[in-house]
A and B are shown apart, each in its own frame.
Chain A
Amino acid sequence: AQKITQTQPGMFVQEKEAVTLDCTYDTSDQSYGLFWYKQPSSGEMIFLIYQGSYDEQNATEGRYSLNFQKARKSANLVISASQLGDSAMYFCAMREFFGNEKLTFGTGTRLTIIP
């Protein structure tokens, strides 16, 4: 069974600083995908970044980068130059490549950016 662990229930970060949100995972699959989603107070889930298990380079999308350490089974999200609009819940998720390819989510981290 797959499992996603986010150990930081909440974080406070000063505006313009970088922040790292932790995510570790457990799977016996060799092929899998890792995702980060942002959920603001409105409730919508916003896709941020994706990393495939066979991708050799860390994924980057604008201010978001994924620090993928396969041996450690970690997929931390790094947000550079944080902005007030980054305040939200952040969920790490994993998708198996076989079966129905469903996403398994972590418990989330509530990020608050302080002006």
Chain B
Amino acid sequence: GAVVSQHPSWVICKSGTSVKIECRSLDFQATTMFWYRQFPKQSLMLMATSNEGSKATYEQGVEKDKFLINHASLTLSTLTVTSAHPEDSSFYICSARRAAETQYFGPGTRLLVL
């Protein structure tokens, strides 16, 4: 299957700092990448759709100024959590769409804001 990486896998930071998470498609080009958030024992909730070369499309209720998304190339999308607070602590996972059907997911990033 296709390989998608995320970095870092773990982040612990102080409240008020910004955290950048990278999502890379390693062996294919992805015109579209997706960012999800998953709270413990819950399902994945889509935060935004990231299209290469254009602005991201955010889901209702997701603050675009707080969760900055940049899709600068066909293999890289970044999510920056600005001025993180404890309520932003979660599991963030990206996916990249390779073909018409399937999204492949990265391994996820666990964020803990103290």
Chain A: minimal CB distance from B18 (Å) = 23
B105 touches A37 (CB 8 A): yes
A residues 45-91 in Cβ contact with B at 8 Å? 45-47, 50, 52, 91
Cα-based distance from A103 to B34 in the complex (angstroms):
9
A16 at the interface (CB under 8 A from B): no
With A44-B105, A45-B105 as known contacts, state yes or no: A100 contacts B43, CB within 8 Å.
no
Cα-based distance from A33 to B99 in the complex (angstroms):
13
Dominant secondary structure of chain B at its interface with chain A? strand
Chain B: minimal CB distance from A21 (Å) = 14
B108 touches A101 (CB 8 A): no
Which residues does A use to contact B, with CB under 8 Å? 33, 35, 37, 42-47, 50, 52, 91, 95, 100-108
Which residues does B use to contact A, with CB under 8 Å? 1, 32, 34, 38, 42-46, 49, 57, 91, 93, 95, 97, 101-108, 110
Instruction: Pick 8 A–B contacts, CB within 8 A, sort by A.
Output: A33-B101, A35-B102, A35-B103, A45-B108, A47-B105, A52-B101, A95-B103, A101-B97
Given contacts A43-B38, A43-B91, A44-B108, 10 further A-B contacts (CB under 8 A): A33-B101, A43-B110, A44-B93, A45-B44, A45-B105, A45-B108, A100-B49, A100-B57, A101-B97, A105-B43
